[in-house]
Amino acid sequence: MTMTVIEARSLTKTYLTQAEQVVALKDVNLAVKAGDFIIINGPSGSGKTTFLNLISGLDLPSAGEVFLDGQALHTLSDNHRAELRLRRIGLIFQSFELIPVLTVFENVEYPLVLQRLPRSERRTRVNRILAKVGLEKMAHRFPAQLSGGQKQRVAIARALVTRPQVVLADEPTGSLDSSTGEQILRLMLELNNTYKVSFLIVTHDQAMNKYAHRLLEIRDGVLTEKECGTDVQDRLSQYSAQ
Amino acid sequence: MFKIACRNILRNKRRSLMCLLISMVGVAVLYLEIGYNTATNDGLKLMSVEQYGDLQIARKGHWDAEKTEQLLLSKNEMESIEKILRDEEAISGFTTQLNCSGILGTEDGSVIVSGWGIEPGNNLGLSYSITSGLNLFPGDQNLVLLGEGVEKKLHVQTEDWVSMMVTTLDGAYNSGSLQVSGTFTTGISELDGFYVILPLTYVQTLLNTDGVEKFVVRLKDTALAPEVKTRLLARFTAAGLELEIKSWSDLAVMYHQVKGMFETIFYFLSLIVFVLVFFSILEIMSMAFFERMNEIGTIRSIGAKRRQVFFLLIQEGLVQGITGGILGLCLGWGMGALINSLQISYVPPSFSDPVPLVINQSVGNVLLPFCIVLCSTILSAFFPAIKGVKLNIVEIMRHI
């Protein structure tokens, strides 16, 4: 039986503005299993980012619960949630969010520094993941010296270096051209297959849907399951053959 | 973490340079101020020790009495005291003094003077320098040294004769003639216009006594004064002598007043520097942290705890403070060396001679200016750091 990594139960998030109460998410239920590659579509303002914030523990729901690794996030302290994010979740952002004063190597190493891992282990892990994303020769470059696609590869490496159970990606191809975006998606798919790490990607780019293992859609705060066309493994085989 | 702090400082060079300059100037100003204070205090301490000796011994109540003549030490007491002083290894020398007040005059005029009766050739406990004529030498009997101001008031010259009139201990008038041996200055114009120096035996004859007012003691090391004082007092008590001992510090009222004044000025200046550095760097740090809000949000979303982010930001203040502090000390040291090499002098209030403007460059003066500016810099990073970590990650990330 496949293990559930993250589970959202009856998740609701409302914001109180001066004029009215805005419902950003409405009774959302989702179970992310180990090894899942889930894409969530939705237009701007549909609640995609709010959903990612809630299941990553960055924000707390107005109602409902999120379970990560069997622990209800809303019962944990801010520090405890940060600790869980550090060890169990990898985050990827649309605009990469690399630390500009650190090199590629140091950016990827940073979460391991926060984990207080020994230097030798950090070096091994970082070199391995950089090789995997094809950036081993750019380890000493600074983010400003990289292209958009390379930056996103660094962000992916940073998200995966801690060996998380799930990677949450918010519009990971949003700042890239379509060709580079496709390469990044394929890389994530490959890493999903290699490391058996679950990926939950929110995007409004429908072109990426073909890679989804599970396809979901958020519209007006309501999450619905969509039919997924092709088997992921087939697509990965096609990608590898290319 | 430390690497991020250092590189962030180098990231915006102009802003960091501004922070460094502010802390550097702050440290340099305080270093020079404390160096000047220390040098002045050291000079005053030396002057006080020369003026009063390390210790003074007199009959109990001497320093509180209105008429000290009634509390003179007898010949027998002097012998006992001398015996005890000779046994004390920490003492390098001692002398006796008998002071008197009276009228010094010539045919043309007179002035009220205070006379220091000293053992000629033994200047312990009296700081003066001869400005004309000759000093008193052992065996001199009826010679007098006039303060520069006394000489001017009486219009006399070396080798002229003057008369001194005093009241003896019995209350009778007595007078004698003295030849002017020379003039002296104590460095303080008010004293120079009032004091004369006479041979002790001459003062004893004038006052019709064989006693002395006090013993002035010099030690091999001034720092030993408190412990020697305690030791001597115990020995005097054991010998049945009712004596009182005062150290130079007990007697040097002016030294403590000036020291207190300089300390107040230093604290006031420190406060001004602290506030100036704090607000200047607070503004710069707040701007720097605000511009990097997305970075702070990313670091926190990766999994850094509030505490870790807080220390990351504080480290920037710490690095700025330490770097600015070290450079400020170098600047202060350079300026101090320059001032010392220029040999600038000035005349302080009530002094008759100029004194050199000296900056004490000792290592002990480094710590306080450095710590004051470092605390100010860290504190100026503290508030933006607190504000930064308190922000909601979702709010920060919304701007990404």
More confident residue, B32 or A241: B32
Q: Residue B367: what residue type?
A: L
Q: What integer pLDDT is reported at residue B69 of this predicted model?
A: 63
**Residue A93 touches chain B, beta carbons under 8 Å:** yes
Categorize the per-residue pLDDT at A167 as very low, low, confident or very high, splitting at 50, 70 and 90: very high
Categorize the per-residue pLDDT at A241 as very low, low, confident or very high, splitting at 50, 70 and 90: very low
Q: What integer pLDDT is reported at residue A29 of this predicted model?
A: 92
Which residue is associated with the tokens 């995007």? A203
> Is residue A230 predicted with pLDDT exceeding 60?
no
- 3-state secondary structure at position B110: strand
Q: Is B14 exposed, middle or buried (0-12, 13-18, 19+ CB in 10 A)?
A: exposed
Cβ atoms B164, B158 nearer than 8 A: no
State how far the Cα of B186 lies from the Cα of B45, in Å rounded to an integer: 15
DSSP state of B74: P
Question: How confident is the model over B216-223, as a mean pLDDT?
Answer: 92
SS3 content of chain B, % helix, strand, coil (to 5): 55, 20, 25
Q: For CA atoms B195, B196, B200, B203, give the dihedral sign.
A: negative
State how far the Cα of A30 lies from the Cα of A10, in Å rounded to an integer: 9
Q: What integer pLDDT is reported at residue B223 of this predicted model?
A: 92
Categorize the per-residue pLDDT at B389 as very low, low, confident or very high, splitting at 50, 70 and 90: confident
Categorize the per-residue pLDDT at B4 as very low, low, confident or very high, splitting at 50, 70 and 90: confident
Cβ atoms A218, A47 nearer than 8 A: yes
Q: What is the CA radius of gyration of chain B?
A: 31
Cβ atoms B191, B147 nearer than 8 A: yes
- Distance separating the N- and C-terminal Cα atoms of chain B: 22
Backbone angles phi, psi at B88, to 5 degrees: -85, 115
> Is residue A64 predicted with pLDDT exceeding 60?
yes
Q: How far is A235 from chain B (nearest CA, A)?
A: 30
Q: What integer pLDDT is reported at residue B13 of this predicted model?
A: 84
**Residue A56 touches chain B, beta carbons under 8 Å:** yes
Residue B216's H or E segment, with its range, is: strand B214-219
Give the ipTM: 0.86
Q: Residue A119: what residue type?
A: R
**Residue A85 touches chain B, beta carbons under 8 Å:** yes
Of A96, A167, A162, which Cα lies nearest the Cα of A129? Answer: A162
Do B295 and A114 lie within an 8 Å CB cutoff? no
- Least CB–CB distance from A114: residue in B8, B11, B302: B302
User: pLDDT for A18-56, tens place per residue?
Assistant: 778 888 899 999 999 888 999 999 888 888 889 999 999
Question: How confident is the model over A78-86, as a mean pLDDT?
Answer: 91
- Distance separating the N- and C-terminal Cα atoms of chain A: 33
Q: What is the DSSP string of B297-355?
A: HHHHHHT--HHHHHHHHHHHHHHHHHHHHHHHHHHHHHHHHHHHHHT-EE--TTBSS-E
Which residue is associated with the tokens 């933006």? B384
Do B295 and A85 lie within an 8 Å CB cutoff? no
State how far the Cα of A56 lies from the Cα of B148, in Å rounded to an integer: 89
Chain A residues in contact with B304 (beta carbon < 8 A): 82, 86, 114
State how far the Cα of B261 lies from the Cα of B334, in Å rounded to an integer: 26
**Residue A58 touches chain B, beta carbons under 8 Å:** yes
Chain A residues in contact with B8 (beta carbon < 8 A): 101
State how far the Cα of A127 lies from the Cα of A195, in Å rounded to an integer: 16
Which residue(s) pair with A216 in the sheet?
A40, A225
A53: number of Cβ within 10 Å: 23
Q: What integer pLDDT is reported at residue A88 of this predicted model?
A: 92
Question: How confident is the model over B268-277, as a mean pLDDT?
Answer: 93
Q: Residue A37: what residue type?
A: F
Q: What integer pLDDT is reported at residue B1 of this predicted model?
A: 67
> Is residue A4 predicted with pLDDT exceeding 70?
yes
- Least CB–CB distance from B305: residue in A79, A97, A101: A79
Q: What integer pLDDT is reported at residue A1 of this predicted model?
A: 58
**Side-by-side strand order, sheet with A198-203:** A89-92, A166-170, A198-203, A37-41, A214-219, A222-226
Minimum mean pLDDT among B15-29, B88-102, B255-269, B349-363: which range?
A: B349-363
Q: What mean pLDDT is reported for chain A?
A: 87
Cβ atoms B101, B237 nearer than 8 A: no
Chain B residues in contact with A56 (beta carbon < 8 A): 301
Chain B residues in contact with A107 (beta carbon < 8 A): none
Residues of B in CB contact (< 8 Å) with A are 1, 3-4, 7-8, 10-11, 294-295, 297-308, 392-394, 397, 400
> Is residue B122 predicted with pLDDT exceeding 90?
no
- Least CB–CB distance from A101: residue in B8, B307, B394: B8
Token pair recorded at residue B363: 């290592």
Do B394 and A101 lie within an 8 Å CB cutoff? no
Question: HEC string of A109-140?
Answer: HHHHHHCCCCHHHHHHHHHHHHHHCCCHHHCC
Categorize the per-residue pLDDT at B12 as very low, low, confident or very high, splitting at 50, 70 and 90: confident
User: pLDDT for B313-352, tens place per residue?
Assistant: 888 888 889 999 999 999 999 999 999 999 999 888 777 7
Do B4 and A102 lie within an 8 Å CB cutoff? yes
Diameter of chain B by CA atoms? 101
Q: What is the DSSP string of chain A?
A: -PPEEEEEEEEEEEEE-SS-EEEEEEEEEEEEETT-EEEEE--TTSSHHHHHHHHTTSS--SEEEEEETTEEGGGS-HHHHHHHHHHHEEEE-TT----TTS-HHHHHHHHHHHTT--HHHHHHHHHHHHHHTT-GGGTT--GGGS-HHHHHHHHHHHHHTT--SEEEEESTTTTS-HHHHHHHHHHHHHHHHHH--EEEEEES-GGGGGG-SEEEEEETTEEEEE---S-HHHHHHHHHH-
Cβ atoms B104, B80 nearer than 8 A: no
Question: How confident is the model over B389-397, as a mean pLDDT?
Answer: 80
Which residue is associated with the tokens 């202060």? B332
> Is residue B85 predicted with pLDDT exceeding 70?
yes
B96: number of Cβ within 10 Å: 23
**Residue A95 touches chain B, beta carbons under 8 Å:** yes
* Contacts for B354 with CB less than 8 Å, ≥ 6 apart: B345, B346, B347
User: pLDDT for A127-162, tens place per residue?
Assistant: 999 998 888 899 999 999 999 889 988 999 999 899
More confident residue, A87 or A195: A87
Chain A residues in contact with B300 (beta carbon < 8 A): 82
Minimum mean pLDDT among A198-207, B11-20, B64-73, B364-373: which range?
A: B64-73
Q: What integer pLDDT is reported at residue B67 of this predicted model?
A: 67
pTM of the model: 0.75
Which residue(s) pair with A41 in the sheet?
A203, A217
Backbone angles phi, psi at B75, to 5 degrees: -60, -40
Do A86 and B304 lie within an 8 Å CB cutoff? yes
Q: What proportion of chain B, given as a percentage, has pLDDT over 70?
A: 98
